[in-house]
Amino acid sequence: MTLQGKDRRPKADIQSRNYGHFKFLPYDGPMKPYSAACERNKEPILQVLKTVITRADRRLLEVGTGTGQHAEFMAPYFPQLEWHPTDLGERLSDLKIWHRDLRASNIQPPQRLDVSKDDFPKLKFDLVFTANTLHIMHWKDCKAFMKLLGNRLRENSRAIFYGPFNYEGNFTSESNREFDALLKERDPLSGIRSFEDIHNNMTKHGFELVEDVEMPANNRMLIFNRLKFIG
């Protein structure tokens, strides 16, 4: 696991990261939510997903789909998969507008999913993917999410978390420290999560860490595999 050195990115770049607030851009219809961060990170995320998703996988649940840009870009690369986008109820109307105009036929209609409630769809998922959500969710919701994953995923299913993480109590870059301060200004209960806390909770709920991949701009991709289900 290699950690990034000193971050030299300009401040404007730090401030353009995704806080869970999206811009709305006009397109050939109503205003459509858009995240610049998604445009930058979708290709590197896809390259990692290609190493994790197999031909035998059938269903992927995306938690905190946001603008839908990740699903729209990535789902066509995995035609064997049903891609299930989900988000909080308040995001669903935007996601429905987005879904209406999609060309990728393997993206299912967006569903409401709040990890703090037990409304995980009653389907068997081979994969759960979530990007840039753990630093937005409150820690109690992150814990509820990991517990839910332990209850609902079966042996050899994978949970994939993309975003920034701290290691051994330290930020991995100055830009992550500033990002964390900005997050906390908006919501004191949000903030960059500790890798060790995520790892401990996932282990407690029956997962092993398969890979911790260094990603551009001081982000990581954590890949967990569900061990044999006991219970």
Ligand X SMILES: C[S@@+](CC[C@H](N)C(=O)[O-])C[C@H]1O[C@@H](n2cnc3c(N)ncnc32)[C@H](O)[C@@H]1O
Q: Which of 36, 46, 88, 97 binds ligand X (CB under 6 A)?
A: 88
Q: Which is nearer to ligand X, 81 or 128 (CB)?
A: 128
Q: Is 66 in the site for ligand X (CB under 6 A)?
A: yes
Q: Is 160 in the site for ligand X (CB under 6 A)?
A: no
10: left (phi over 0), alpha (psi -120 to 50) or beta: beta
Q: Are 163 and 191 in contact (CB under 8 A)?
A: no
Written as one letter, the residue type at 165 is F
Q: Is 222 in the site for ligand X (CB under 6 A)?
A: no
Q: Which is nearer to ligand X, 19 or 195 (CB)?
A: 19
Q: Which of 75, 81, 95, 113 binds ligand X (CB under 6 A)?
A: 113
Binding mask 10-39 for ligand X (x = CB under 6 A): --------x-x--------------x--x-
What is the C-alpha separation between 177 and 129, in angstroms, rounded? 25
Q: Cβ 11 to ligand X, closest distance in Å?
A: 19
Q: Which of 91, 99, 152, 205 binds ligand X (CB under 6 A)?
A: 91
Provide the 8-state DSSP code for 195: H
Q: Which is nearer to ligand X, 115 or 202 (CB)?
A: 115
Q: Is 48 in the site for ligand X (CB under 6 A)?
A: no
Q: Which is nearer to ligand X, 25 or 208 (CB)?
A: 25
Crossing angle for the helix pair 195-204 and 139-152, to the nearest 10 degrees: 30
Candidate segments 73-81, 111-119, 120-128, 201-209, binder of ligand X by CB under 6 A: 111-119
Between vectors from CA 74 to CA 71 and to CA 199, what angle results, nearest 5°?
A: 80
Q: Cβ 55 to ligand X, closest distance in Å?
A: 25
Beta-carbon count within 10 A of 213 CB:
19
Q: Is 126 in the site for ligand X (CB under 6 A)?
A: no
Q: How does DSSP assign 201-226, residue by residue?
A: HHHHTTEEEEEEEEEGGGEEEEEEEE
Largest CA distance in the chain: 51
Provide the 8-state DSSP code for 190: -
What is the C-alpha separation between 6 and 49, in angstroms, rounded? 27
> Residue with CB nearest ligand X?
66
Q: Which of 87, 94, 126, 180 binds ligand X (CB under 6 A)?
A: 87
Secondary structure of residue 228 in the 3-state scheme: coil
| Residue ranges that bind ligand X, judged by CB under 6 A | 18, 20, 35, 38, 63-66, 70, 87-88, 91, 113-116, 131-133, 136-137, 141
